[in-house]
Structure 1
Amino acid sequence: MENNDPSSLRKVYFDAWQKEQEKLPLSPLEAMIVDVIQRHPEYHPIFDDPKNFHSLQDEKFQLDHNPFFHLALHVTVLEQISANRPGGIRKLYQQLLKKIGDRTETEHKIMACLANVLKYSFERDEAANEQLYLKAIRRLL
Structure 2
Amino acid sequence: MIFNPTRDQVRQFFVDTWRKHRAGEVLAPIEAMALDWILEHPEYHADLERGDALAADYSVEAGRTNPFLHLSMHLAIAEQLSIDQPPGVRAAYQALVQRSDAHQAAHEVMECLGQVVWEAQRLGRPLDTEAYIDLIRRRAGR
Pairing of 1:45-84 with structure 2 (within 5 A): 45-47=46-48, 49=49, 52=50, 54-62=51-59, 65-84=65-84
Aligned residue type for 2:76? T
The letter for the 2-side match of 1:41 is P
Superposition map of 1:55-134 within 5 A: 55-62=52-59, 65-100=65-100, 102-134=101-133
Q: Which amino acid aligns with 1:57?
A: L
Question: How far did residue 3 of structure 1 move?
Answer: 4.1
Three-state SS of the structure 2 residue aligned to 1:4 is coil
Q: Which moved more, 1:106-115 or 1:20-29?
A: 20-29
Once the two structures are superposed, the pairs formed by residues 29-44 of structure 1 within 5 Å of their partners are 29-44=30-45
Conserved in 1, the CA contact under 8 Å of 2:95 and 2:137? Answer: no
Percent of aligned pairs sharing the same letter: 31
Q: Residue 85 of structure 1 aligns to which amino acid in structure 2?
A: Q
- Distance in 1 separating the partners of 2:33 and 2:90: 16
The superposition leaves residues 97-138 of structure 1 with CA deviations (integer Å, 9 ceiling, x where unpaired) of 1221x2111100000000000000100001010000000001
TM-score, normalised relative to structure 1: 0.90
Offset of residue 36 of structure 1:
0.3
Structure 2 unaligned segments of length 5 or more: list them. none
2:137 is the counterpart of 1:138:
yes
- 2:109–2:136: 8 Å Cα contact kept in structure 1? yes
Q: Structure 2 counterpart of 1:112, which letter?
A: E
SS at match of 2:20: helix
For these two proteins, the number of residue pairs brought into alignment is 136
1:19·1:25 contact (CA, 8 Å) conserved in 2? yes
TM-score (norm 2): 0.90
Where 2:52 maps in the other structure, the secondary structure is helix
Unpaired runs of at least 5, structure 1: none
Q: Matches of 2:59 and 2:4 in 1, distance apart?
A: 21
- What residue in structure 2 maps to residue 20 of structure 1? 21
Give the RMSD, CA atoms, in angstroms.
Answer: 1.4
Once residues 24 and 57 of structure 2 are traced to their aligned partners in structure 1, the CA distance between those partners, rounded to angstroms, is 31
